[in-house]
Homo-oligomer: A and B are copies of this chain.
Amino acid sequence: MVPNSRKSNKKDESKRRLSSTERRRLIIEAAVPLFAQEGFRGVTTKQLAKQAGVSEALLYQHFPSKDDLYAEVQRFSCNPSEELRIMLEGITPSTKMLVLLLYFMTKMIVEHVGFGGTHDPLFPRLMLHSLLDDGAFAREHFHQVTNRMVSMIQRCIAAARAAGDLVSDESDDALVFWFCHHTLVAINMYQLPLVPVMPYHGGSKDALTAPVMRFMLRGIGLTPKATRKYVQFDELAAQVEQWLCNAGKGQDA
């Protein structure tokens, strides 16, 4: 009965009309990789239209200007994932969780592993473009996403200190977390160009995971004893795997 119930006809599909919200969403999704790759000024409305499979005029039906589309692309790209929130809720702060969360961050930032599998590094590119611009997107992301991690990791650091797993000194826990984060982000950043920038980029991506983990944990002040106890990469990998798989299946983990 319904005319377009058959999906085999490509012409029908390509000429099919979408609702305003559907089309709007598709345009944004098509625009993300373009803006991420080339930046706001590096993309033309012509390219945006072509990538989205529509005319340039239609872009302006959905977005008053190229600026507005870019803003929507940024908003879309920094939606805080529900999975992360659920994951963090299930955590009781401890030394073990400190190590695990850092491992998780390392996988996400250095190896681009996310809840939906491995991603193209679109997000870091949008982030750099924003930092070279006004930084608004960067601020929004830290407000929406990173801060959740921060407070949890800070609590884990506190728990580790209470358990005697950290060398005691006067360092600021929040700062130390950011330094770890920064190390990972910079590794990721130097991976962006097709031709490798850093000498250590010869090997595979996960070749850096263990060294940078050790560096960060020592920087945080984890004792050698605690390191031997908690830094077992096989176990860490298994646990993170489980997090990534369970995500989206509700809180029944």
Contact = CB atoms under 8 A, between A and B. Distances in A.
Interface of A: 39, 41-42, 125, 128-136, 138-139, 142, 167, 169, 171-172, 174-176, 178-179, 181-183, 185-187, 189-190, 192-195, 197-200, 208, 211-212, 214-216, 218-219, 221, 224
Given A41-B39, A197-B138, A212-B179, A131 B171 contact: no
Contacts of A174: 199-200
Q: Is the interface of A mostly helix, strand, loop or mixed?
A: helix
Contact of A216 (B128, B197, B212, B219): B219
Copies in the complex: 2
Nearest to A43: B41
Contacts of A195: 134-136, 139
29 contacts: A39-B39, A39-B41, A41-B41, A41-B42, A128-B128, A128-B132, A130-B193, A131-B192, A131-B197, A132-B132, A134-B194, A138-B190, A138-B197, A139-B195, A139-B197, A167-B218, A171-B214, A175-B212, A178-B198, A179-B183, A179-B215, A181-B186, A182-B186, A182-B187, A185-B186, A186-B186, A189-B189, A215-B219, A219-B219
Contacts of A125: 132
A208 B185 CA distance: 18
Contacts of A183: 179, 182-183, 186
